[in-house]
């Protein structure tokens, strides 16, 4: 008879639970297949089976000071520490969620001295007198989780841990990339500062020469004035470059988690901006692109885990439509007064299921499921956008690299021509065949071309850093 009653109770529970209908509510978004995306000629034309970046990819620039700055930043940057704290928080929350999947045991004891009513259920001699009411109990409960709600919640929480870990890798990569690119700009600014000083010196030479010619009646006052007007602009540029160097030092100090005073100790970078040295550029791409890019980019991995966590939250919302069954048990003793507390007659115990089921929720469960489905759709679309953005960044880096290679070739040609022209002008001047002004003009042209070469080489280094970041910075991440 008892099994029949249990079966009837279970059938009734399922029937009543069916009153909460989840029909018609489902996610609408679909994850993009990265291998089906048209990557374009920039990527497809550069896939040569090159290696993926090393985790310490900045070491290819061969500057010990840069290596120390990045290492210090990864150890001391407050924003990175905050990201790591979020990982620990996610793990703690996952631990709390896991506790719901395990049995729970509680112990409780109480001793109360109270005055019992003379007109209630307590018999004499306690009625109308003070006495101790003592209880000691051990209770336990276990959620059967028949519909997988608790385990789905745990899977979602673990996904949040992976999400936070991927976001930490995002912060590490962004931090390293920001330091490297700022450092490259600092190296260029020092080169531009040297160039501005050299150009100022040549213009001052030209001004002195023109003044002497004017004194000799060989040049006009207009000639002198026209040269004098160029000097303030060069000095202003020197001041601007000096300010930019100071600001970059402050920025680097902040990135490594230090104060501006520590930035003042940053020495001139040892990067070589010559196009044939220290460029460490990579024009080829790994053959597994774009498929393996999904596990190399921390932002993509983070979005994948966000989608996975959202999918598990949908399972939790669906499980809420079904009955929840807990097994509960308790055992203990209860007695009035301490004398009988440990006697066999004071024992009490019990065991049985506790069932809760939704019957009429006023649409709350449907709204909850619809909301979680919308969260999933949003996560999927954000994942799709991240994949497309990642491919765009890789394609942009390769496109810029190709353009800079051509510009580097043209600037080297222009530099060689300017160097030859200066040599000829200097030889002619020293031989007395031309005026010294021609030699100074040729040197100014040479300095200008050297500046162009340095700027192109700096952009090549910056493109290298951009490409390393676009390829994920050398860290391979787990995907759901």
Average pLDDT over residues 410-433: 91
Write down the pTM of the prediction. Answer: 0.85
Instruction: Pick the closest to residue 152 from 342, 28, 366, 311 (CA basis).
Output: 311
d(CA 276, CA 412): 10
d(CA 269, CA 264): 13
* 3-state SS, residue 480: coil
- What are the C-alpha distances in Å from 269 to residues 225, 258, 280? 38, 18, 16
- pLDDT digits 0-9 by tens, 58-110: 998 989 999 999 999 999 999 999 999 999 999 999 999 988 889 989 999 88
The mean pLDDT of the chain is 87
- pLDDT digits 0-9 by tens, 400-409: 988 998 999 9
Average pLDDT over residues 22-26: 80
Phi and psi angles of residue 141, each rounded to the nearest 5 degrees, phi first: -150, 155
Fold agreement (25-101+145-322+364-470, 106-144+325-356): no
Is the Cα torsion angle 317, 319, 322, 323 positive or negative in sign? negative
> In the chain, pLDDT over 90 holds for what percent of residues?
52
Confidence class of residue 1 from pLDDT cuts 50, 70 and 90? Answer: very low
Q: What share of the chain is helix, strand, coil (3-state, %, to 5)?
A: 60, 10, 25
Domain 25-101+145-322+364-470 in CATH: superfamily?
Outer membrane efflux proteins (OEP) (1.20.1600.10)
Q: Who has greater pLDDT, 73 or 360?
A: 73
Question: What residue spans define the domains of the chain?
Answer: 25-101+145-322+364-470, 106-144+325-356
d(CA 132, CA 112): 5
d(CA 199, CA 224): 17
Q: Which helix (H) or strand (E) holds 170?
A: helix 149-215
| pLDDT above 90 for 291 | no
d(CA 354, CA 373): 30
d(CA 139, CA 108): 8
Confidence class of residue 465 from pLDDT cuts 50, 70 and 90? Answer: very high
The residue to which tokens 């220290």 are assigned: 278
d(CA 313, CA 373): 9
CATH class of 106-144+325-356: mainly beta
């Amino acid at each position: 008879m008892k099994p029949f009653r249990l079966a009837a109770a279970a059938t009734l529970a399922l029937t009543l639970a069916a009153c909460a209908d989840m029909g018609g509510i489902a996610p609408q978004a679909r994850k993009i297949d990265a291998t089906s995306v048209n990557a374009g000629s920039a990527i497809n034309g550069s896939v040569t089976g090159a290696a993926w970046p090393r985790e310490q990819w900045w070491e290819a620039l061969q500057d010990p000071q840069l290596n120390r700055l990045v290492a210090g930043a990864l150890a001391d940057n407050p924003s990175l520490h905050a990201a790591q704290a979020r990982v620990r928080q996610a793990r703690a929350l996952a631990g709390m969620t896991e506790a719901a999947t395990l049995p729970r045991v509680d112990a409780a004891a109480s001793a109360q001295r109270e005055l019992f009513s003379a007109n209630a259920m307590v018999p004499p001699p306690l009625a109308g007198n003070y006495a101790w009411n003592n209880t000691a109990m051990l209770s336990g409960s276990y959620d059967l989780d028949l519909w997988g709600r608790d385990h789905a919640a745990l899977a979602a929480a673990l996904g949040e841990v992976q999400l936070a870990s991927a976001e930490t890798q995002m912060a590490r990569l962004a931090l390293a990339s920001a330091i490297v690119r700022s450092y490259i700009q600092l190296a260029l600014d020092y080169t531009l500062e040297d160039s501005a000083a050299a150009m100022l010196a040549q213009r001052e030479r030209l001004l002195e020469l023109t003044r002497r010619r004017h004194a000799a009646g060989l040049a006009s006052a207009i000639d002198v004035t026209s040269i004098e007007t160029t000097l303030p602009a060069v000095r202003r540029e020197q001041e601007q470059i000096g300010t930019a160097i100071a600001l970059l030092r402050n920025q680097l100090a902040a990135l490594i988690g230090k104060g501006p005073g520590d930035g003042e100790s940053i020495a001139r970078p040892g990067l070589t901006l010559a196009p044939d040295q220290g460029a460490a550029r990579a024009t080829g791409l790994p053959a597994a692109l774009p498929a393996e890019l999904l596990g190399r980019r921390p932002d993509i991995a983070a979005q994948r885990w966000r989608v996975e966590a959202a999918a598990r939250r949908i399972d939790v919302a669906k499980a809420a439509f079904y009955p929840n069954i807990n097994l509960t048990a308790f055992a203990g003793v209860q007695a009035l007064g301490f004398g009988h507390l440990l006697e066999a007659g004071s024992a009490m115990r019990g065991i049985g299921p506790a069932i809760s089921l939704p019957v009429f929720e006023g649409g709350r469960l449907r709204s909850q499921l619809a909301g979680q489905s919308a969260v999933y759709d949003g996560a999927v679309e954000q994942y799709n956008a991240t994949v497309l953005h990642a491919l765009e960044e890789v394609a942009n880096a390769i496109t810029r690299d190709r353009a800079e290679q051509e510009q580097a070739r043209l600037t080297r040609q222009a530099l060689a021509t300017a160097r030859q022209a200066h040599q000829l002008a200097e030889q002619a001047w020293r031989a007395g065949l031309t005026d010294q002004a021609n030699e100074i003009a040729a040197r100014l042209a040479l300095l200008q071309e050297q500046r162009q070469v340095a700027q192109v080489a700096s952009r090549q280094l910056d493109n290298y850093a951009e490409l390393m970041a676009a390829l994920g910075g050398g860290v391979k991440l787990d995907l759901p």
